[in-house]
Chain A
Amino acid sequence: MNPYELRKDFPILNDETLCYLDTAASSLKPRQVIERLDEYYEKYGVNVHRGVYNLSYVATEMYEEARRKVSDFIHAKFDEIIFTRGASSALNLVASSYGLNHLTSEDEIIVSELEHHSQVLPWQNVSHITKAKLVYIPLDSEGRITVENVKKVLSNKTKVVAINYISNVMGYITPIKEIISLAHEVGAVVVIDAAQAAPHKTIDVVDLDCDFLAFSGHKMCGPTGIGVLFGKKKLLDNMPPIEFGGDMNDNVNLYDASWKDVPYKFETGTPPISEAIGLGAAIDYLLSIGLDEIGKHEFKLKEYTVKKLKEIEDIIIYNESAETGIISFNIEGVHPHDAVSYFDGDNICMRAGHHCAQLIIKWLNVVATLRVSFYLYNTIEDCDRFIESVRNARDFFKSVGF
């Protein structure tokens, strides 16, 4: 893959002074996706599943075609794909539907301090309501989830294991295949937060044998407002809807009603139609480049940048060994929000703060961190600009007395 060519697909990068290093928060969007959104609004921007007229039929076909693209993308079956507002909604759906209806005070839910709030807070809520016990996997010295440490907390009481595929702060890849296999041995289901994985690596839910898996469109070149929940059909069939209204129902009586089949019973109201179609276009775009190529490219940029950062005084890197394109770091003695304004002044976009993952920030025992994350449109020149800015920022803050 050639990032210099790919950059031309992203209208925002027409501004050559922009250095975008915050893909882990949201990726930039290519023309190929934006055009598909325009096409929907300009040519067939009507509702789905309802209209008995040709345009609505076209919109429905395009919306369902996007579902087929998503299912192929992760090797799932068509009716195992539920469209949601984002990865957060998808993870909440599992907790509210599966969690609240299957767990009791006798049960245990395994999570980790490496989770994004959208994976840990829904299960905290389930734990508060059902009195099921929330159990944390002890992280290893680098802050990783290891198979060995999962074994320490897994038991016959475990009913749910809810963990990330790739950490949004540390960029570590969790060995989920082995963990899923161990969890299944004790009869637990496994919920995977793949928001940071789907944009960067091939996912095969059959090979992984995972029970639920969630990701977002906007981190993988797609629009905002669309996410995906994959669930095994037999699990989804036995889960109640959590939102009720139009389109999800079958027969409606005065005092009861029945629901459509999966996935439609979980998709009430007018769905994010253009967003789903845009996600389909994003998947086409990523597949045309090759996910594993993208992952390799990001990792190469990360390795290069880490090596250079280590040559600068007062730089603390928290995840040197990450296998992906994420670097979490700080300038010693400088609050990340002071530092990030310096980078902003150089038109470098990056993240400072808790990254919606306060537990790992507390685990690291810092107030917050700086984070850069690379993607297919980043180049060695971006890395060099960033490294130069870090060097200048460090010198500047030390010179004014930090």
Chain B
Amino acid sequence: MNNLETLYRQVIMDHYKNPRNKGLVTNSLYKTIHIKNPSCGDDITIQTKVENGLIKDIRHDGTGCSICCSSASVMSETLKGKTITDAKKISSTYINMLTNQEYDTSVELEDAIVYQGVSKFPARIKCASIAWKAFEGTLEESE
């Protein structure tokens, strides 16, 4: 059977069809980062509002394949309400998991864990990481 099945059957299709926290806001309290992958057309914008060391809100918008768009939605759900320290830890753990590097399995990745399957499709790692990279960028802007 094609390995894709498990990947798509789980959270990905749900978030692709019904994205959470989608749509950007015009609010100077949000830091905005836009990342584009010109070779495939994935195009994601992430907005983060940080208050007192907490991720108060994450918004996203953009176009791309199902893995790219769903991972933006999953990322926003996973990291909203976390402290900056925890969010950074989850994000770096997630990226390490995708790229087949050693990662701390004690870190709770919540729904984002399903993207583990993407590591079997090296050509798609970029799709699954672009929203998370943009999120990390918004934190750098906040500092």
Contact = CB atoms under 8 A, between A and B. Distances in A.
Interface of A: 335-338, 340-342, 344-346, 352-354, 367-368, 392, 396-397, 400-402
B65 A337 contact: yes
Contact of A345 (B4, B13, B66): B4
Contacts of A352: 40
Interface in B20-44: 38-42
B39 A354 contact: yes
B39 to A, nearest CB: 6
Please name the 8 residue pairs, one residue from A and one from B, whose CB atoms are nearest each other, closest first: A337-B65, A335-B65, A345-B2, A400-B8, A401-B13, A338-B65, A353-B40, A338-B66
Contacts of A341: 4, 121, 123-124
Contact of B40 (A337, A400, A402): A337
Given A335-B65, A342-B2, A402-B66, A353 B121 contact: no
A338 B121 contact: no
Given A337-B67, A341-B4, 12 more contacts: A335-B66, A336-B65, A337-B42, A337-B65, A341-B121, A341-B123, A341-B124, A342-B4, A354-B41, A367-B63, A396-B2, A400-B8
Given A341-B123, A400-B9, A400-B13, A392 B2 contact: yes
Interface residues of B, number: 23
Nearest to B120: A345
B64 interface: yes
B85 interface: no
10 contacts: A335-B64, A341-B123, A342-B2, A345-B2, A345-B121, A352-B40, A353-B40, A353-B41, A368-B41, A401-B13
B66 A367 contact: no
Contact of A344 (B64, B123, B127): B123
A353 B68 CA distance: 14
Contacts of A396: 2, 4-5, 8
B3 A345 contact: yes
